[in-house]
Amino acid sequence: MTQALLEQAPRTAAASHGALTMVLIRDEAGFFALEPFWDALVDQMSTRSPFLRWDWVSLWWRTCRREDSSLVIALLKDEEGLPHAIAPLMLARENDRARHHLTALTFLAGFGPAHGERLDFVVPAGSEDALTPRLCRVFKLLRNECDVIRLNHLPEESPNTPHILAAMEESFLHSGVLNRYACHFIRLPGSPESYDLRHTGAWRSKLRRRQKALVTQHGGEESVAGERVSYADAMQALHELHAMQWPVEASSFIKPASWRFHQLLAEKWLPQGRAILPLLIADGRVIAAMHGFVERDEFFQFQMGWDPAFARLSPGKLVMRWCIECSIRRGLSAHDMLPSEYEYKRQWCESLRWLLDVEAFSPASWRAAAFHTLRTARRLMPRRPETETGPTHDLQEEPTA
């Protein structure tokens, strides 16, 4: 089978919807056989997500899955066996202590270390109304094998989302949105100067003073991984700087399993330009780093770190401004800061979109019925006043100096 045929096949879906058959892939051999087709389909999706790329999901499956997880990938294929749409799913136990006894039908890479931040069905743009309801038949097929459907970080704007919600409601009980996360993002202009003009004169003046102080007092300069600093050394600097704000017990990013995943991914994606790691260098060492992923025409800001010894110069703000400039220089259309609601994101971004955690309970599961009944009862009980605690979602909660 030629590469040209592999690239062409998914694009013919609209002409052959009636001939497609849904199959379930439940073994690793079938999963890895999808590699030649996977990214060609992701390229055609309406929504952008680096977390759906083959490198991410396959590496996650190899390095981060729990032993009790199992693949249940729904695939729409034509008469020649070529894939046209994919529902990347698995059966897994949830990490949450209150839900660990529930078997969830969830996105592949949706739980555990290095879980994805934007997950979805892989369906070519314009084919969602025809193909997504067919993929959603997997919910009914697996109703007796799971206690709950739990699909985390589903983009609200995805054309797949209404079909997924409708299918969950049809085959399961108590279907709905469990959580809704704000994602602040920037619609990027054509130049860094145009972006700066969106802010006040005081904001621009303060940033310029700090940039000048960094250069004149510390020999500071802007760089990216692979220029002055090797990819491996830049990742190590990110690890150390991130840990200065978020120790290992507070951040999943630098916990061993997740960190190993990101090291392996960076070895491939940084040289390819699929990831970017902007750096600030001062006094001969890296003092701030910002790590994120390029997906077609969008950048997804993922992790950062900075040296508190330079706090008076606000290295967090300086490296964020430099990262935004890197996105603009790449000709990207959007800079997404991923989920969480923090003041600094509102200061840097003017646009907003949403991610959803959706769930539904199997009518065949007594565990699901017991859990839902107890949760409903707890929610009806008077709640004690909550005390101030740290953030519960650590992927994007880094303070910016």
Does the residue 349 lie in any domain? no
Confidence of residue 396 (pLDDT cuts 50, 70, 90): very low
Least confident of 103-107, 191-195, 268-272, 387-391: 387-391
Domain-embedded: residue 338: no
Query: For the chain, what is the domain count?
Result: 2
pLDDT of residue 344: 86
What local confidence, expressed as pLDDT, does residue 12 receive?
A: 39
- 389 pLDDT above the threshold of 80: no
Q: pLDDT grade, residue 8 (50/70/90)?
A: very low
Regarding whether 364 and 240 lie in a shared domain, the answer is no
Residue 18: per-residue pLDDT: 61
pLDDT tens sequence across 314-340: 999 999 999 999 999 999 999 999 998
Whole-number pLDDT of residue 397: 39
Kindly state whether residues 324 and 255 are assigned to the same domain.
yes
**β-pair partners for 270:** none
Strand pairing class (83-87; 73-77): antiparallel
DSSP E strands: which ranges in 246-345?
Answer: 275-276, 278-282, 285-295, 298-306, 334-339
Same domain, 80 and 204: no
pLDDT-wise least confident of 66-70, 173-177, 247-251, 343-347: 247-251
Distances in Å between the Cα of 293 and the Cα atoms of 46, 206, 290 are 18, 28, 10
Check whether residue 211 and residue 166 sit in a common domain: no
The larger pLDDT score, comparing residue 19 to residue 223, is at: 223
Phi, psi of 245 (to 5 degrees): -100, -35
Determine if the pTM surpasses 0.75.
yes
Query: Domain end: 287, 317, 332, which one?
Result: 332
Strand partners, 47: none
Tell whether 372 is covered by a domain: yes
**pLDDT reading at 16 higher than 50:** no
Token pair of 276 as six digits: 């970017």
Kindly state the average pLDDT of the residues 166-182.
96
The answer to whether residue 114 scores a pLDDT higher than 90 is yes
pLDDT above 50 for 14: no
Q: What is the pLDDT of residue 401?
A: 53
Q: How confident is the model at residue 246 (pLDDT cuts 50, 70, 90)?
A: confident
Q: Is the residue at 342 inside a domain?
A: no
CATH code of 148's domain? 3.40.630.30
pLDDT given at position 36: 97
3-state secondary structure of 248: coil
81 band by pLDDT with thresholds 50, 70 and 90: very high
Given a cut of 90, is residue 119 above it in pLDDT? Answer: yes
Q: Are strands 70-71 and 298-306 parallel, antiparallel or unpaired?
A: unpaired
Q: Are 391 and 398 in contact (CB under 8 A)?
A: no
Q: Judge if 383 and 274 occupy the same domain.
A: no
**What pLDDT sits at residue 314?**
95
pLDDT per residue as tens digits for the range 284-302 = 999 999 999 999 999 999 9
In a domain, 279, yes or no: yes
Tell me, yes or no, whether 249 and 200 share the same domain: yes
What average pLDDT does the segment 16-27 reach?
85
Structural domain including 282 reads 189-332
What DSSP assignment string belongs to 96-130?
STTTTTSEEEEETT-SSTT--SS---B-BTT-HHH
Interacting residues of 359 by C-beta distance below 8 A, sequence separation 6+ = 148, 149, 150, 151, 174, 175, 176, 178
Rounded distance between C-alpha atoms, residue 236 and residue 205, angstroms: 32
Q: CB-based contacts of 373: which residues, under 8 Å, 6+ apart?
A: none
Q: Round the average pLDDT of the chain to a whole number and report it.
A: 90
Token representation of residue 281: 């260098």
Instruction: Report the percent of the chain where pLDDT is more than 70.
Output: 91
Looking at the structure, tell me whether residues 314 and 241 fall in a common domain. Answer: yes
Average pLDDT over residues 100-117: 93
Q: Does position 63 have pLDDT exceeding 90, yes or no?
A: yes
Mean pLDDT of 4-24: 57
One domain for residues 15 and 95: yes
pLDDT digits (tens, 9 = 90+) for 37-60: 999 999 999 999 999 999 999 999
Identify any residues that bridge with 281 across adjacent strands, giving them in sequence order. 221, 286
Percent of the chain topping pLDDT 90: 80
Query: Does 399 map to a domain?
Result: no
Residues 314 and 360 in one domain: no
Clarify whether residues 262 and 169 are in a common domain: no
Within a domain: residue 347? no
The average pLDDT across 245-254 equals 83
- Specify the pLDDT at position 170: 96
Same domain, yes or no, for 247 and 113? Answer: no
Q: Are residues 200 and 177 in the same domain?
A: no
pLDDT value at residue 6 = 36
Q: Is residue 344 part of a domain?
A: no
DSSP structure string for 170-227? HHSEEEEEEEEEEEEEEE--SSHHHHHTTS-HHHHHHHHHHHHHHHHHH--EEEETTS
Q: What's the confidence (pLDDT) of residue 391?
A: 35
Whether residue 83 is predicted with pLDDT greater than 50 in this model: the reply is yes
Q: Which residue has the higher pLDDT, 338 or 385?
A: 338
Give the 3-state secondary structure of residue 141: helix
- Per-residue b or e along 68-97, where b marks 16 or more CB atoms closer than 10 Å to that residue's CB: ebebbbbbbbbeeebbbbbbbbbbbbbeee
CA–CA gap between residue 271 and residue 329 (Å, rounded): 17
